[in-house]
Structure 1
Amino acid sequence: MLALALRLAAMLMLSVMLLLVKMTGERGVSLPETMFWRQAIPALLLAIWLAGKGQLGRLATKRPWIHARRAAIGTTGMFMTLGVVQILPLAESTVLGFTAPIFAVILSAVMLKEHVGPWRWTAVALGLTGVIVIAGPDRGHLPLFGLAVGIGAAFFVALVSIQLRDLGRTEEPLTVVFWFSAMSAPVLALFLLRTGVHHDAVQWAMLAGIGVTGLFAQILMTAALRLGAVSSVIVMDYSQFGWATLWGAVFFGNLPPATTWTGAPLICAAGLIIAWREHALSKERAALLNA
């Protein structure tokens, strides 16, 4: 229950962060700079907080290369995850992110040679059908480029989930979050040489908000994965669609069209089927080990 509550809180923080990302984009802040502050602020806050408590040693790791790989994959995925909300409406960009479990199933079959039964393949087909329904015939509402970025973001989220589960076996959430931010921020800082950092007070407040909400979202998600299985906590992710729809209506006057309301349940159902099946399989494996 604690893992579910942490994941639910993480989705609220994540939805606020994406709202601020969209708003900074509309106010002319470049995406690379937004990403830099999204990463630099969490790393700085964590370092200051731990230093004040005399606990900087908690950031020590014996797996720097694994953190570096996670940072490379995570930064690429973040570019798409934050970029898609500046291209598509919040609700649609959020729903496309729900296809991550579908890609996780495909990756497990292709990369890990895991046996995937009819239940999960049916879920994959159901989720992809939902994407097609949401895409619809109206290219003005959802351009193909935006759809491609959204699906690419979900693919990288699936890769990151595998990385987080692996790191969670040996590293505490603060360590994982710190090294992701600390390793990616210097690379993103190079873009500041071109964009500069000249903003008004509102823009600075939004950028600070992105960093703070992103930090809490990351800590909460990592902690949830440490306390509960991916197949269990991922159910809470679908609450983000409600927040995204609310923010889109309140701040941008956007309500999802009928195609989104039709396709979204298909994608959510696919994710729930995968989560249920993963949970059932984990129980079966546990029973065999204890037999």
Structure 2
Amino acid sequence: MNASPQSSSRRTDRPLLAIGLRLMAMVMLSTMFMLIRLAGREGVSAPEMVFWRQAMAVPLMGGWLLATGRLSLLRTKRLRSHAMRATTGTVGLVCNVTAAMLLPLPVGTTLGFTAPLFAVLITALVMREHVGPWRWTAVTLGFLGVLLITRPGQQDIPLAGLAAGLGAGVIVAIVSFQIRDLGRTEQPITCVFWFSFFGALFASVLLPFYGQAHEPYVWLLLVAVGLAGTLAQLLVTAALRFGAVATVVVMDYSALIWATVYERTVFGAMPPASIWLGAPLIIAAGLIITWREHYLARRISPTSALDEGATEEIAGDAAVPQPR
């Protein structure tokens, strides 16, 4: 029997290495969003930012595959599915970029943790699958945390930023279902490459309207955004080759630490006090959902952990961190 894309991507179990790689991935993602915010302050628009983020990843990944003799991994018979996933994922990336520009980094990062909550809602309300009391309790806790952070009417959080942050959570929940389908036939690097390729292609339509000349410093920021994002994707992929999803996914919440550090050291501000009330509830909700999904998957099939790993591995950074 031929090895599936999922099983071929996992070669050995080294949990400490996997955790270290996932932590590094969160550092790179947090760095990317910090750079996005800096570039936004220099006048770079969200559509332009998305284009350069995606466009720079294409030659980086293509060159790496060519140098390692693995260019054949880009062959696919599912270009239409990749294009549909890229359409949804690019919208999610626009939401993430907008949130990074408009919100304090810790707030935007924490709102990104709501993806598992929306995944549960989609599972119950759209797919009509059974959702038990554990996950409903987690959803309630999570959205209570959102209310504590935003405190409607009492806190100066831009409405557009709040909508973008929560929109990113909705999009990554939708993308997770698309990725689960792609992961049944496609290699992780194949999905990440075509996501970046089609994402850059779609964003290029808006480039004539939003693109503009920049100072060398700003171009360096845009290059750094592309490098940080691509490296984060590769680190996420590597982490899941050495450890199971249940082992590494908890490390995603370390992004809140780096976001807070960058907010204080780079932007000279501290996150609103309300985040320390709401963030623990959102994180607890995500952990409950992750544990419950892993528990149910193990009951259904002993190979489900590999399926979960493939889903996480090819997710990209359209909506990250993304524990389910």
> TM-score of the superposition, structure 2-length normalised?
0.82
2:297 partner letter = S
Partner of 2:33: 18
The match for 1:90 is: 105
Structure number having the greater helix percentage: 1
Q: Residue in 2 aligned with 1:268? A: 283
Choose which of 129, 153, 176 in structure 1 pairs with 2:144. Answer: 129
Q: Cα gap change, 1:31/1:145 in structure 2, threshold over 3 Å: closer, same or farther? A: closer
Whichever residue aligns with residue 193 of structure 1, its letter is: P
Distance 1:42 1:212 in 2: 7
Q: What one-letter code is carried by the residue in structure 2 that aligns with 1:102?
A: L
The Cα of 1:242 is off from its aligned counterpart by 0.5
Which residue in 2 is equivalent to 1:80?
A: 95
Distance 1:76 1:56 in 2: 28
Q: CA–CA distance in 1 between the matches of 2:21 and 2:202?
A: 30
CA offsets 1:151-185 (integer angstroms, 9 cap, x no match): 11111111222333332333222211110111121
2:23 is the alignment partner of 1:8: yes
Q: Which sits farther off after the overlay, 129-138 or 22-31?
A: 129-138
Offset at 1:98?
A: 0.5
| Residue identity matched to 1:196 | G
Q: 1:252 to 1:263 in 2, by over 3 A?
A: same
Cα distance change, pair 164–11 in 1 and its aligned pair in 2 (3 A): farther
Identity %: 51
Does 2:266 align with 1:251? yes
Partner Cα separation in structure 1 for residue 256 and residue 151 of structure 2: 19
RMSD: 2.1
Which residue of structure 1 lines up, in the alignment, with residue 257 of structure 2? 242
Question: In terms of mean alpha carbon deviation, does 226-235 or 165-174 score higher?
Answer: 226-235
TM-score using structure 1 length? 0.91
5 Å-filtered alignment, 1:134-173, equals: 134-137=149-152, 141-173=156-188
Unaligned runs of 5+ in 2: 1-14, 305-324
Distance 1:102 1:6 in 2: 26
Aligned partners of 1:168 and 1:226 also within 8 Å: no
1:220-249 CA distances to partner (integer Å, 9 max, x unpaired)?
A: 334556776655543221110001000000
Q: How far 1:106 sits from its partner (Å)?
A: 1.0
Q: How does 1:142-291 map to 2 (within 5 A)?
A: 142-224=157-239, 233-286=248-301
Q: Which residue is equivalent to 1:37? A: 52
Amino acid at match of 1:143: P
SS at match of 1:107: helix
**More deviation in 246-255 or 222-231?**
222-231
Deviations 1:36-92 (A, max 9, x none): 110000101122232344432121012212111110110011110111111110000
| Most deviating of 40-49 and 68-77 | 40-49
> CA distance change for structure 1 residues 102 and 42 in 2, over 3 Å: closer, same or farther?
same
Worse-superposed segment, 110-119 or 215-224: 215-224
CA distance in structure 1 between the partners assigned to 2:234 and 2:166 by the alignment: 24
Higher mean C-alpha deviation, range 131-140 or range 110-119: 131-140
- Separation in 1 of the partners of 2:198 and 2:151? 39
- Compared with structure 1, are the counterparts of its residues 99 and 226 closer, same or farther at alpha carbon in structure 2 (3 Å cutoff)? farther
Q: 1:144 to 1:195 in 2, by over 3 A?
A: closer
Change (3 A) 1:163 1:31: same
Unmatched 5+ residue regions in structure 1? none
Q: Distance in 1 between matches of 2:30 and 2:19?
A: 17
Matched, 1:62 2:77: yes
Moved more, 229-238 or 211-220: 229-238
Q: Distance in 2 between the 1:5 and 1:108 partners?
A: 32
**In structure 2, distance between residues paired with 1:89 and 1:169:** 38
Counterpart position of 2:134: 119
* Contact preservation (8 Å) 1:95, 1:267: yes
The correspondence for 2:120, drawn from 93, 105, 114, is 105
How many pairs does the alignment contain?
A: 288
- SS for the counterpart of 2:274 is helix
